[in-house]
Amino acid sequence: LSHRSGDMRYSGSRKSICFKPFSLDYVKAIKNKAPGKITVNDVLLGAMVGAMRRYGGDAVDDKTIMRMLIPVGAPIDFGANPPPEGDRLGNNWSFASADLSKAIRAEDSVARVEITDAVMNRLKESLDSTTSNFITNKLMPLLPPSKAQHSTKDLYARHTAIFSNVPGPQLPCCVGGKEIEAVYPIFLTLVEQVIVMSYNGKFYFNTTLDPNVVTDYEKFEGYYRDELLDMGKRLGITDVQL
């Protein structure tokens, strides 16, 4: 928790914003043409960093600090008698902290993705998420509730947002005999929450935020799309549309 703490006053208000769906193939085209072994998640997260840079405008400089919390899943031990594979439901995850300060300071969209990729690779090679999982599931339950609450507040106060990318089914699904047209996961928390879910060839992006803090939130979707379009332009992507 070395970075400075932000203002964690809670207004009690939250706004959920669902972006217009955008193309999975377009994001994959960026992934394939970008330098290095970029992942789809790197592109989505890098675009988030770029959107925040655009939102920040002249306030972003070489001293700007930004960290995001990244939920990281872990295998679940179902014991000696695990349920059938198709019936296994579990949610074993913990937060990893991604320092994206260098990424938001970068001058162009492709550089931001490259730096984001380097940050995520470091996380994947580290024990950060494993250690976080152990602390969350083994140590936190032993603490008095007030200590656990204070620790959680400190964690949130030192991060700009929570970012999660959820791979979904790429074929149409039906409920009650009708095809599902769109899927937007929505989750309210103390800081800005972003969940991007892929479904049937499209990405569905939702963010929840405090409208008393982010008063011009309606601009953010445009910034995110502009960042993706700029990546495509710089990488010469012309055969697929956003």
Residue 1: its pLDDT value, please? 47
> Which residue from 49, 91, 45 is spatially nearest to 72, judged by alpha carbons?
91
Domain boundaries, the chain: 15-234
pTM of the model: 0.90
> Which residue from 24, 73, 72 is spatially nearest to 205, judged by alpha carbons?
24
Q: What CATH number is given for 15-234 in this structure?
A: 3.30.559.30
Question: If you ran DSSP here, which 8-state letter would residue 82 be given?
Answer: P
pLDDT tens digits for range 110-165: 999 999 999 999 999 999 988 998 988 889 899 999 998 888 888 898 899 999 99
| pLDDT greater at residue 228 or residue 150 | 228
Helix, coil or strand: residue 85: helix
Q: CB–CB of 22/51 below 8 Å? A: no
Helix, coil or strand: residue 196: strand
pLDDT tens digits for range 41-63: 999 999 999 999 999 999 999 99
Kindly state the helix (H) or strand (E) to which residue 15 belongs, with its residue range. strand 15-18
